[in-house]
Structures are given as C-alpha cells and as structure tokens.
Homo-oligomer: A and B are copies of this chain.
Amino acid sequence: MDNYNTPTLKKELANYISGYVDGEGCFCISFSKREKLNIGWEVKPSFAVSQNSDRRQVLDLMMKYFGCGFLRRDYGDKTLKYEVRSLDELLEKVIPHFLAFQLKSSKQNDFLLFTEICKLMKDQKHLEIKGFKRIVELGYTMNGSGKRKHSKDILLSNLKMKI
C-alpha cells in the first residue's frame, strides 16, 4: 500500500478494486450440514476473488487494501483465490468498502443481500429457526441461484431446535 499513500491515490485504488471485483469477485453464502449445531446447519459467508496465479498482483494488492483475508489455491479450477470468511472482517472491512464504492452491475443486488445476511448473523439470527429460514430465502436468491450442494427444500425441511 506504500504506493497509495495519499487520499486521492487511495480513492483511485478503491474505485479500481470495486471495478475488479464487479468482474471477478463473488459474495457467497454457503450452508453445511453440522449435526452438532442446534439448528443442524452452519451458515458460511465469504467474499472471494479469483485470478490465474500468473496474475496474482491484484490479489496481493487487495489483501493489503482490505487488511484481512487470505490467499489459497483452488485446485479445482486452478486459480488463486483471495478470500475473506471471518464475519467480523466482512462486516468491518469488506462491506463498508462496497457501500462506499458501489458495484455497477447487477452484482450489486447480490452484495446487498449478502450484507443483510451478514447483519442477521451478527445478531445471531442464524441460530434461530425463523432467522435461519430468512437467511436461506435471501441466500437462494443470490448469484442467479447457481450451483448449490443442498436444495432449499432440504435446508428448510424438518428444521427443529435441539434442546
């Protein structure tokens, strides 16, 4: 970030990053079966940006800019991914950036749904049946409802809290 040491340069970088993310980034909510949890499901929000590893400069820059997250190799599609998965970091570092420097494609809608889910999670709503159902409804309208491991019906069927 040493090269972006004035407010003007920082703002230019911020707009550049929003443009890059509008193309290559993803705001995702995934659901994993976790029998040990009261509700039986874990809700996992993540922000990820992919890039071929021979062009990793922007991912390094983004990690420095946001001051959180990590890089990992995705052996599936042979890319390098910059990811933020911590709810607190998403709420405190990632989401405020995209509220200030908005996406210009319809990915903005996904971002707003993502933000709403993260806020519900901050309020622990994902640990209650009503809140969890709301999160599933919101999550399943994101990203064109692309490939999903679990159907919405499976997530919502037979929900009951353990005592």
Contacts and interface: CB of A to CB of B under 8 A. Distances in A.
A86 B55 CA distance: 28
A105 interface: yes
Contacts of A22: 16, 19-20, 58
A117 B51 CA distance: 26
A46 interface: no
A112 to B, nearest CB: 15
A15 interface: yes
Interface string A92-111: 00000000010011110000
Contacts of A17: 19
Contacts of A57: 104-106
Contact of A11 (B12, B19, B21, B144): B12
Contacts of A18: 16, 19
A54 interface: yes
A107 B57 CA distance: 10
Interface in A98-154: 101, 104-107, 144
A104 B54 CA distance: 13
Interface of A: 11-24, 51, 54-55, 57-58, 61, 101, 104-107, 144
11 contacts: A16-B18, A18-B19, A20-B22, A22-B58, A23-B23, A51-B105, A54-B144, A55-B107, A57-B106, A58-B104, A61-B104
